[in-house]
Amino acid sequence: MKTATKLIAQLDQEASKFATVGIAVGFLDQTEFVFAGQADRLDRLKRYVQLGGEPMGLVGFLKNGSRRGDFHWKVFADHQKTGWAAGCLRNLEGEVERAAGDGA
């Protein structure tokens, strides 16, 4: 697995493509996020990993002019062959779509 520092560097590198982007960190019963622009993002990611979280990939809203665009997710390379991380992020996408459909 990439180090937390390398994952934050990847987050920072991708941030310009997104209106909002973060690292999704999976736990057994919840998902936490570390967002680009958070001053404590490296410490936050390290803390989540120490608590047993698994950084799964990037999630966010692509830029669309002056508006927030479509929800997008990308599994980190370390998890592309296993399938579980993609399943979690796909489920997260469904939750976002349902929430948006409810006017949230």
For 85-98, the pLDDT digits (tens) are 999 999 999 888 88
Once rounded to an integer, what is the mean pLDDT over residues 8-29?
95
What does the alpha-carbon distance between residue 50 and residue 35 come to, in Å, rounded to a whole number? 18
Instruction: Please give the model's pTM, rounded to 2 decimal places.
Output: 0.89
pLDDT attached to residue 36: 96
- Map out the domains of the chain as residue ranges: 4-101
* Residue closest to 86 by CA, chosen among 94, 95, 76, 71: 76
What does the alpha-carbon distance between residue 58 and residue 61 come to, in Å, rounded to a whole number? 10
Q: How many CA atoms lie within 13 A of 29 on its CB side?
A: 0
